[in-house]
Amino acid sequence: MEADQESAQAIVTMLDTFGVTAQASGRRNLDGAAITSWLVVAGLAVKTAPDILRALAELVKELRLGSVTVDLEKQKIKIDRPGRAQIRELIDKMGDNPPDDDA
């Protein structure tokens, strides 16, 4: 996910409540002098992704996100400047009952 610093920290905190280890780091411009945005990176189990995305949809009401990218086994989905509706659509695409990790 790409966000401003405050939003990135809020997302890391939210992911932590789900037991997901996440990192936020500043993304610098070409000369490396200024941070232009913050990236949040986390690996999610397929089973927990819909619950985490639901929580993210609630956070979007308060936060400003640049983009959300979900890299699924069969497809990669990127949403620029997502709102609650776009995140809900992503949850629908994943389905409420994603396949088991062992399958």
Identify whether 88 is part of a domain. Answer: yes
Give domain status of residue 100, yes or no.
no
pTM, two decimal places: 0.61
Considering its fold, how many domains does the chain have in total? 1
Give the domain extent around 89: 2-94
Contact 72, 50 (CB under 8 A): no
Residue 103 counted as domain residue: no
Q: Please report, in tens digits, the pLDDT of each residue of the chain (103 residues total).
A: 788 888 888 888 888 888 888 888 887 777 767 776 777 777 766 677 787 888 888 887 777 778 888 877 777 888 888 888 888 888 887 765 444 443 3
Q: What is residue 31's three-state secondary structure?
A: coil
d(CA 90, CA 86): 6
Q: Is residue 31 part of a domain?
A: yes
Q: Is residue 102 part of a domain?
A: no
The reply to whether 52 falls in a domain is yes
**Inter-residue contact 41 to 26 (CB < 8 Å):** no
Q: Kindly report the number of other CB atoms within 10 A of residue 32's CB atom.
A: 7
